[in-house]
Amino acid sequence: IMYAGALFTVAEIPGGALFMSAFDMSKCYPILADLAIKFVKPAMTDVFVEAKLSEEDIARVNAELESNGKSNYVLNLELTDANGVVVATTHATYQARMHKR
């Protein structure tokens, strides 16, 4: 059975990974504000997660960063096992912040 802390890590990493691919890290950085996880079933195999931000969310976050220096974005994810069975669900809020000028 996969350790709960490992599942939490699998659930948290996509928020930062998405950030690095969608935003300019030389101008801003991500912070995890909160993450709630519900363990649904024991994970007995490899675990997978898919996360994405819409073009609209990316544009909104960029606009709020420029005007406010920070912006929140939310990811609701499902962690699935090798058979496609949901083993955990998450609700996470990340905050993008501009570097100090």
Entry pTM: 0.88
The CA–CA distances, whole Å, from 63 to 22, 23, 28, 96 equal 13, 12, 13, 11
Task: Report the DSSP beta bridge partners of residue 19.
Answer: none
- pLDDT tens digits for the chain (101 residues)? 999 999 999 999 999 899 999 999 999 999 999 999 999 999 999 999 999 999 999 999 999 999 999 999 999 999 999 999 999 999 999 999 999 86
Q: What type of residue is 55?
A: E
